[in-house]
Amino acid sequence: MSTALTREVQPVSLTSQSRYRIKRNFWSIFERTFRVSTLDGQLIMLVKHPIFRFREQFTVYADEAQQKPLLFIKSRQIIAINFAFEVTDSDNGQVLGSVQKRGLRSIVRDKFIVRDPDGQEIGFVEDQGASILRRYFPILTSKHAVVLNGQPAAAIRQIFRFFTKEFEVELVPGVGDPRFVMACALLALIAESRREDA
């Protein structure tokens, strides 16, 4: 049986593994494309984040053809310092939670507040690398942490590559909905790419 057929018969999901890779091109013009895959290359999530849009909103897909929507992420504001992004299940419209940037407090180090569907603060996403140096030397690698209810939910570590941005994400089983945790990780990396492209 070929490898391709095996992957078709035995698909994976965010609940079946804990380690993933996120990749995007180093430079972007009209949109930033993020691909989340298993360590052996099976695509789990695809995000095409538009650069030029008045209000940020985009869909997270489960396939390259963009026929299987997983999540819908939308900014609650058009213009704001503390942007908040609501993460919704595309199948049933259920709000999984929201991620809010801490505005001026993120000038030195990116930090986001994570809230549950009722708007209660339950954790944060924080840049833990050499954030100030990276603003001047983007070639330096980054590290982020996702913490929910006082427990580590995910660790994001950049792997140095030429001409592409690659990150390894390790989810902690049982801490939060893995779809929402991965959305938190993606939003942190999107914010980082936005700063690099500025």
Neighbouring C-beta atoms of residue 29, cutoff 10 Å: 9
Neighbouring C-beta atoms of residue 163, cutoff 10 Å: 7
Predicted confidence (pLDDT) per residue in 52-61, tens digit:
565 688 999 9
Predicted confidence (pLDDT) at residue 198 exceeds the cutoff of 60: no
Domain range for 21:
3-197
Q: How many domains does the chain have?
A: 1
pLDDT, position 83? 79
Q: Tokens 């989340």 identify what position? A: 36
Predicted confidence (pLDDT) at residue 7 exceeds the cutoff of 80: no
pLDDT, position 191? 85
Q: Tokens 């091109």 identify what position? A: 25
Residues 6 or more apart in contact with residue 120 via CB below 8 angstroms: none
CATH number at residue 139: 3.20.90
Q: How distant, in Å, are the alpha carbons of 126, 160, 163 from that of 25?
A: 23, 13, 7
SS3 66: coil
pLDDT, position 180? 97
What's the mean pLDDT in 45-53? 79
Per-residue tokens: 172: 């902690």
